[in-house]
Amino acid sequence: MAGLAAAYALARRGRPFLLLEASDRWGGVVRSLREDGFLFEAGPDALLTTKPDAIALVRELGLESRVVPTNTELRTVYVVKGGRLYPMPEGMVLGVPSRWGPVFRSGLFSLGGKLRMALEPLVPRRAGGGDESIAAFVRRRLGREAWGRLGDALLGGIHAGDTERLSIQATFPRLVEMEAKHGSLVRGFRRGPKGSAESSAFVSLRDGLTEMVEALVTRLPRHALRTSAPVDALAPAADGWSVRVGAETIEARAVVLAVPAPQAIPLLRACAPAVADELAAIRFVSTAIVLLGYARGDVAHALDGYGLLVPRTGGQHTTAASFFSTKFPGRAPDGFASLRVFLGGDHDPGFAEGDDASLLDTALREMTPLLGLRGQPVYARVCRWPRARPQMEVGHGERVARVDAMLGRLPGLFLTGAGLRATGLSDTIADGTATGEAAAGYVS
């Protein structure tokens, strides 16, 4: 998406370019699968509506009528505690309560934990500023239990990461801004724009997120698009950069390197070693998603929500599961249900690299008692994402500032993509677009 967004920005400015993609398909980790009557997502499944850039692109591509919101009737998220499922109290946003009634009625937290959360509006702003981990931020504002029973699984799970290491500033800047502006997250969410009952925080497209990729590709000049064209080397040249693809060398005034850090490092090692060193410090972790299709009668649970979160205290490999056919319409044939089960991440290094059979077996073993699964799924597929989830750790912002300063001394070289300035599709599109515009400005 970063590369496509950059290319689209260049196309809009009328700048000639060549888009080189290593694999035989566009979209990178965005991959919708239509199989056996199910519509699954192998990677990302939703665009966040609170971040404007992805939605703006969808509109610009003429896909507005194709947008499907999440099911607003059944929006519960369950949390596992002691082997049982507890609904997350209504009105919680990113683990922050905006209403007290549901929190005090919930069995998820102890009375002490609830009272501590209720003190959040009285907790002073952090003195001194500077970056902090997600865990430290949530414990400081809402207490240890709010972090351990919910915040860790929810906020860490979004990044498949360890909340003790992830930067709150890089991953959830909105929460930091809210504390600075309102002095309290609870007050901030209460004062913020109210999500109406009909509005949804996440959307997708009728045929899945690949629809956005396909629409974007059709807006780019066909002669500028090359798949199965892995870039092997980059080097400064007399009037710009030379780009090697197999036996071919392409001369370019400017290069936008729109690949995640692990793939950028070998290309930068010779021509920008200091940038490569900084990127090498951004860890990427591996995850897997097990896609399951069941006859509806073979799942005892009502599947009346978006899914479930598994706090790591339970010793399970599953980090979360989404009730995919409840979350979005048209994802499973009538009479069937679909699930996405998430495994691996920073707490479980190496686990997602196991073989398909053992990942499937783990997903079924851990989901069966929680969801009352019976018999065998009618559809099962394991999707692996080796080193695809960037870990923006405490101090990430300063690292990016150092990278940007170094790039300023390498005219014509631009960098965007997962794990640098952006996390998530909307920010990736925003950063890819801004980087494409900067490259267009440079060659002008």
| Site residues for ligand FAD per CB under 6 A | 1-3, 20-23, 28-30, 43-48, 230-231, 258-260, 263, 287, 289, 385, 388-389, 417-418, 423-426, 428
Give 50 or 376: the residue with its C-beta nearer to ligand FAD: 50
In the complex, least distance from residue 417 CB atom to ligand FAD, rounded to whole angstroms: 4
Instruction: Mark 403-433 as b/e (b = at least 16 C-beta within 10 Å).
Output: beebbeebebbbbbbbbbbbbbbbbbbbbbb
Query: What sign does the dihedral 218-421-31-41 (CA atoms) show?
Result: negative
Radius of gyration of the chain (CA): 22
Closer residue to ligand FAD, CB minimum distance, 123 or 271: 271
98 versus 287: smaller Cβ distance to ligand FAD: 287
Q: The tokens of 13 are what?
A: 């400015």
In the complex, least distance from residue 338 CB atom to ligand FAD, rounded to whole angstroms: 15
- Let me know: does 134 contact 166? Beta carbons within 8 Å: yes
Closer to ligand FAD at the Cβ: 112 or 266?
Answer: 266
* 98 vs 423, beta carbon nearer ligand FAD: 423
Closer to ligand FAD by CB, 171 or 287: give it. Answer: 287
Q: How far is the CB of 301 from ligand FAD (least distance, A)?
A: 22
Closest CB to ligand FAD among 117 and 352? Answer: 352
The distance of closest approach from Cβ of residue 230 to ligand FAD in the complex, given in angstroms and rounded to an integer, is 4
- Give the Cα separation of 16 and 67 in Å (integer): 31
Angstrom distance (rounded) from CA 367 to CA 373: 7
Give the integer Cα–Cα distance in Å for 245 and 415. Answer: 18
Count how many residues are written for the chain.
444
- CB nearer to ligand FAD: pick between 29 and 292: 29
In angstroms, what is the minimal distance from the CB of 326 to ligand FAD? 16
Given a contact cutoff of 8 angstroms between Cβ atoms, the answer to whether 169 and 397 are in contact is yes
Amino acid identity, position 381: R
Nearest residue by C-beta to ligand FAD? Answer: 28
Residues 6+ apart with CB under 8 A from 184: 120, 121, 122, 123, 141, 178
Kindly state the smallest distance separating residue 51's Cβ from ligand FAD, in Å: 8
Q: Which is nearer to ligand FAD, 175 or 259 (CB)?
A: 259
CB nearer to ligand FAD: pick between 106 and 433: 433
Q: How far is the CB of 83 from ligand FAD (least distance, A)?
A: 27
Q: Which two tokens stand for residue 171?
A: 């991953």
Instruction: Give the SS3 label for residue 366.
Output: helix
Least CB distance to ligand FAD at residue 69 (A): 14
Beta bridge partners of 84: 81
Q: How far is the CB of 89 from ligand FAD (least distance, A)?
A: 23
Give 405's contacts (C-beta < 8 A, 6+ positions apart): none
Q: CB of 129: closest distance to ligand FAD in angstroms?
A: 27
